[in-house]
Amino acid sequence: MPRVPLPDVGVTSIREACTASCEDITPRSWLPGRMLRHHPPDPPPNYTESGKALAPVGPNTARTTEKGAPTAQRIGSRWAVLLAVAAILAGVFVAWLRWPVPPARILGSTQVTDDGSLKIPPTLTDGSRLYYMAIAQGNVLYEVSVTGGGTAPISEPFPGLIAYLAGISPSGSELLVQTQEGSQSGGPAWVVPTLAGSRHRLGSIVSSDATWSPDGQTLAFASGGNLNLAHSDGTGAHTVLTVNGAPSWIRWSPDGNKLRFTVSDPKTGSQSLWEAGADGTGPHPLLPGWNNPPSECCGNWTPDGRYFVFQSTHRGRSDVWAIRDKRTLLDKPNGNRCS
């Protein structure tokens, strides 16, 4: 039987020959050597009674819902992990609060003078040199290297006076010397250059103790039972607080925000440490009830402001103690004897 040639049917002819059931056939759906792939049309949209079209619901939509929204179990697991981490952190913080702060330690000491002369406290430093008052043919200021060596006088004697070193300027170029005349409770303060020049009186103030602020702009000084502030040259003096006793050993905190000082009670003979704001506000005992009767004096901050070191007498024994100052929320205050 002779083979009847098939007509050359193109894609266009196939599309024209298709019935309505395969009207969606495209040229991409027809491949040589394969059957025609039929893509049924999408079902018509559903409509509500108001005429609005509803979103189609099918297998693809269900699959999207399953992947997009986390399950309640997954959310609960995440919250459980977060609560566990929070509980661990809270436990670590409580343990840190209860952990004792290690006391300040004296790592070593070095003798820097061997002249045998009697020294009057305090000793001040600019970082490279030590300055102190010595009783030698009158009260004379001396300097010595922090590493030791020979001493050298830097002032003329203060004859007939009680004199002691009260402060040092921020630049280290000037020293403040407080003097008292005879049995008087106060006297003039003097400025002594550390390099060259003669001393001169600091304004017209009469004080029992005085010291400059860390920025060198303000002078704090005691007079009677009053604590006063003035400009660095002694002008503009005014009283900021009054205590029951005689304030002395006035010290500024390294940041200049607080004042601490010793109050001596002439009636009981006790000494206690007090603290107030830099403007004299909020005066209060620093260690209320710590030692009865109080017997603390002569405190000073370390240069970094982390510790306040002072002298205290317990049961007839005098020791050096240190308080770790609370400077931030992460710092823990504590008071321990230096060892």
Q: What is the pLDDT of residues 229-282, one digit of tens each?
A: 999 999 999 999 999 999 999 999 999 999 999 999 988 989 999 999 999 999
Between 332 and 131, whose confidence is greater? 131
Residue 118, phi then psi, degrees to nearest 5: -80, 130
Rounded-to-integer distance, Cα 228 and Cα 337, Å: 31
pLDDT at residue number 19 = 45
Please, what is the average pLDDT of the chain?
79
Poorest-confidence range of 7-11, 43-47, 50-54, 196-200?
7-11
Residue 208 in contact with residue 248, Cβ under 8 Å?
A: yes
Residue 227 in contact with residue 239, Cβ under 8 Å?
A: yes
Interval 44-100: pLDDT, tens: 555 445 455 445 545 554 444 455 555 777 777 888 888 888 888 887 776 656 666
pLDDT at residue number 62 = 46
Query: Which structure tokens are listed for 306?
Result: 């982390």
| Mean of pLDDT values over 307-315 | 90
pLDDT at residue number 310 = 95
pLDDT at residue number 28 = 43
pLDDT at residue number 230 = 97
Between 64 and 189, whose confidence is greater? 189
pLDDT at residue number 328 = 53
| Mean of pLDDT values over 156-170 | 87
Query: Which structure tokens are listed for 169?
Result: 């300027």
The dihedral region occupied by 13, where left means phi > 0, alpha psi between -120 and 50, and beta the remainder, is alpha
| Mean of pLDDT values over 209-213 | 96
Hey, is 130 helix, strand or coil? strand
216's CB contacts (< 8 A; 6+ apart) are 169, 170, 171, 232
**pTM score over 0.95:** no
Judge whether residue 40 has pLDDT over 60: no
Between 138 and 172, whose confidence is greater? 172
Q: Which CATH superfamily is domain 203-337 in?
A: TolB, C-terminal domain (2.120.10.30)
| Mean of pLDDT values over 110-121 | 88
| Mean of pLDDT values over 120-142 | 89
pLDDT at residue number 22 = 44
| Mean of pLDDT values over 217-237 | 96
Poorest-confidence range of 22-31, 154-163, 258-267?
22-31
Judge whether residue 315 has pLDDT over 70: yes
pLDDT at residue number 339 = 45
Residue 170 in contact with residue 194, Cβ under 8 Å?
A: no
The radius of gyration of the chain from alpha carbons, rounded to an integer in Å, stands at 43
Rounded-to-integer distance, Cα 136 and Cα 179, Å: 16
pLDDT at residue number 252 = 97
Judge whether residue 21 has pLDDT over 50: no
Judge whether residue 180 has pLDDT over 60: yes
| Mean of pLDDT values over 114-136 | 90
Poorest-confidence range of 153-162, 168-177, 187-196?
153-162
Between 284 and 47, whose confidence is greater? 284
Domain spans, the chain: 109-177, 203-337
Judge whether residue 184 has pLDDT over 80: no
